[in-house]
Amino acid sequence: MYDIDAIRRDFPILARQVNGKPLVYLDNGASAQKPQVVIDAVTQAYSLEYANVHRGLHTLSTIATEKYEAVRGTVARFLNASNPNNVIFTSGTTEAINLVSYAWAAPRFAAGDEIVLTVLEHHANIVPWHFLRERQGVVLKWVECDANGAVDPQAVIDAIGPRTRLVAVTQMSNVTGTRVDVAAICAGARQKGVPVLVDGSQGAVHGPVDVQAIGCDFYAITGHKLYGPSGSGALYVAPERMGELRPFLGGGDMIETVTRDTVTYARPPLMLEAGTPSIVSQTGFGAALTYLMGVGMPAIAEHEAALRDYARQEFSKRNWVKVQGDTPDKGAIFSFTLDGAAHAHDISTVLDQRGIAVRAGTHCALPLLQHLGVGATCRASFGMYNTTDDVDALMSGLDLCRDLFG
């Protein structure tokens, strides 16, 4: 059974008040709160086990290295990757996608080669490809979503032409919560011989992930949305792609030897992890993933689906709230505007006065908002510790906004 009270007790921040009201944290899409086990892992790492990794033979360095390297295995288990060495540590999804762009795509793509994207993408899965467009003449091909925010996987597959070298697609929109059938896209792309990068920033938070079943070539996750520390994350690279990566950042730890005239590189994943990494953040990330696997991702998905359905029902009672995009299986992420003049920032400020944290803005997804024909929206994004009481608090906050702004 999903013991929501016990789960809430695991997150100390949920006991605090904001502006004199109990915190209702609905900004999980931006970053999630941390359970005590993560805070403890970080505290222990700094208080008792801190040293640089991969460098020293002394006791603390050995402990730090063992703990840090063990996280690779934890990430592999979380994603069902067959080998921990297919996991490259990154500071988050942004770095992971930039890594694919610099270390894999840039040396291989020529002018006129195409990358297929959907209009749902976060800027982190757009701008690195714009770099290739600007610098190398790569062409970006866009697949639209329908009025409900849905992307037809067949439309993505059909967009793959003879010059397509990569499909880069999100598993879940951070704006509308739309799920994309990335497994179907990977199957179709594979038949056409085209690799697929999946942005799992949101998708991995809201349900179980199996990169082998998805059949993707690259899968990026970010630790701070997975209830871990900021500055942590990972890129899964399929075995057949691993040998195709070229060095990205140069520096310590990624080399085998360096002379005045030559350099040879360590094998991946270390070749892609130059310099002192986010040692403690990754250690905390491992604790977060272990915690999530302990609760069970299927159970979290079920809990959030119930919250989504309840929130959808409550939104639908308020015809003056316009929710952007709705598909039956979407994640519990709702971006909305209110009829009338109220700006998203004003709504967010009123909600904040009641202790309710939502995001207001354009959510690093300007092409999607342009496609939907909206400017700034408010976004309520639910996580594993949210409850129907949180939905009720949001709704009564919105009712107040309606009274205030007309």
Residues acting as catalytic residues = 364
**Cα–Cα distance between 75 and 84 in angstroms, integer?**
7
Q: What's the count of helices (H) and strands (E) in the chain, helices before strands?
A: 14, 17
Q: Which residues of 78-94 are buried (b: 16+ CB within 10 A; e: fewer)?
A: bbebeebbbbbbbbbbb
Is 124 a binder of ligand PLP (CB under 6 A)?
Answer: yes
Choose the binding region for ligand PLP from 40-48, 79-87, 89-97, 128-136 (rule: CB under 6 A).
89-97
Q: Of the candidates 45, 47, 18, 44, which has an alpha carbon nearest to the alpha carbon of residue 33? A: 18
Residue that is written with structure tokens 């690779």 in the block: 72
User: Which of 174, 282, 348, 381 is the binder for ligand PLP (CB under 6 A)?
Assistant: 174
What is the DSSP track for 58-103? SHHHHHHHHHHHHHHHHHHHHHT-S-GGGEEE-SSHHHHHHHIIII
- The residue ranges of DSSP E strands in 94-230, in sequence order, are 114-118, 139-143, 164-170, 196-199, 218-222
The interface with ligand PLP within residues 360-379 (CB under 6 A) comprises: 364
Nearer to ligand PLP, 74 or 176 (CB): 176
Indicate which single residue of 34, 67, 72, 122 sits in contact with ligand PLP (rule: CB under 6 A). Answer: 122
- DSSP characters over 333-354: EEEEEESSS--HHHHHHHHHHT
Nearer to ligand PLP, 202 or 348 (CB): 202
Instruction: Compare residues 86 and 91 and give the one whose CB is closer to ligand PLP.
Output: 91
Asked if residue 27 binds ligand PLP (CB under 6 A), the reply is no
Contact 149, 327 (CB under 8 A): yes
Residues 6 or more apart from 66 whose CB is under 8 A from it?
none
Q: Any contact of residue 324 with ligand PLP (CB under 6 A)?
A: no
CA distance 96 to 154: 26
- Exactly one of 33, 222, 327, 337 binds ligand PLP (CB under 6 A); which one? 222
Stretch that binds ligand PLP, among 81-89, 146-154, 198-206, 373-381 (CB under 6 A): 198-206
Check binding of 232 to ligand PLP (CB under 6 A). Answer: no
In the stretch 39-78, what mask flags binding to ligand PLP with x, by CB under 6 A? ----------------------------------------
- Nearer CB in complex with ligand PLP: 231/338: 231
**What is the rounded CA–CA span in Å between residue 329 and residue 178?**
8
User: Tokens 């640089």 map to which residue?
Assistant: 52
Q: Which stretch binds ligand PLP (CB under 6 A): 88-96, 141-149, 273-281, 353-361?
A: 88-96
| Nearest approach, Cβ of residue 261 and ligand PLP (Å) | 37
CB 230 within 8 A of CB 280: no
Cis bond upstream, residue 269 (ω within 30): yes
Check binding of 201 to ligand PLP (CB under 6 A).
yes
Looking at residue 8, its amino acid is R
Cβ proximity to ligand PLP, 206 vs 393, nearer residue: 206
Nearer to ligand PLP among residue 97 and residue 321 (C-beta): 97
Binding segment toward ligand PLP, per CB under 6 A, in 59-67, 117-125, 245-253, 269-277: 117-125
Site pattern 253..292 for ligand PLP (x: CB under 6 A) = ----------------------------------------
Q: Which is nearer to ligand PLP, 93 or 335 (CB)?
A: 93
Interface with ligand PLP includes 178 (CB under 6 A)?
A: no
Torsional class of 311: left (φ above 0), alpha (ψ -120 to 50), beta (otherwise): alpha
Is there a contact between 101 and 140 (Cβ–Cβ < 8 Å)? no
Find the shortest distance in angstroms from Cβ 125 to ligand PLP.
6
Residues in contact with ligand PLP by CB under 6 A are 92-94, 122, 124-125, 170, 174, 199, 201-202, 222, 224, 364
